Amino acid sequence: MKIKISSKTHVQPNKPILGKKQFQLTTFDLPYLAFYYNQKFLLYKFENLLDLEEPTFQNNVVEKLKDSLGSVLEDFYQLAGKLAKDEDGVFRVEYDADEEEINGVEFSVADAVDISVDDLTAEDGTAQFKELVPYNGILNLEGLRRPLLAVQVTKLKDGLAMGLAFNHAVLDGTATWHFMSSWAEICRGAQTISTQPFLDRAKARDTRVKLDLASPKDPNASSNGDAAAEPPQLVEKVFKFSDSAIHTIKSRANSVVPSDGSKPFSTFQSLTSHIWRHVTLARGLKPEDITVFTVFADCRRRVDPPMPEEYFGNMIQAIFTGTAAGLLAAHGPEFGAAVVQKAIVAHDARVVDARNEEWEKAPKIFQFKDAGVNCVAVGSSPRFKVYEVDFGWGKPETVRSGSNNRFNGMMYLYPGKAGGVSIDVEITLEARVMEKLEKSKEFLLIDVEEDGNKITNGNGHGHGHGHGHGHANGNGFA
Rounded Cα–Cα distance for residues 86 and 84 (Å)? 7
Q: Which of 29, 75, 124, 168 is catalytic?
A: 168
Q: Which of 96, 119, 158, 390 is catalytic?
A: 390
471 assigned to active site: no
Pairing of strands 290-298, 376-380: parallel
- 299 Cβ contact partners less than 8 Å away, ≥ 6 residues apart: 28, 307, 315, 316, 317, 352
388 SS3 class: helix
Q: Strand ranges (DSSP E) for 116-263?
A: 149-156, 159-166, 234-241
Instruction: Specify whether the CB–CB gap between 404 and 164 falls below 8 A.
Output: no
Rounded Cα–Cα distance for residues 350 and 226 (Å)? 36
390 assigned to active site: yes
Pairing of strands 376-380, 410-415: parallel
**Sign of the dihedral through C-alpha 278, 281, 282, 285:** positive
- Using CA atoms, how far residue 410 sits from 166, 336, 377, in Å, is 19, 18, 5
Q: Would you give the distance in Å from CA 341 to the centre of its chain?
A: 22
Q: Would you give the distance in Å from CA 265 to the centre of its chain?
A: 23
170 SS3 class: coil
Phi-psi category of 301—alpha, beta or left, where left has phi over 0 and alpha has psi -120 to 50? alpha
Question: Active-site residue numbers?
Answer: 168, 390
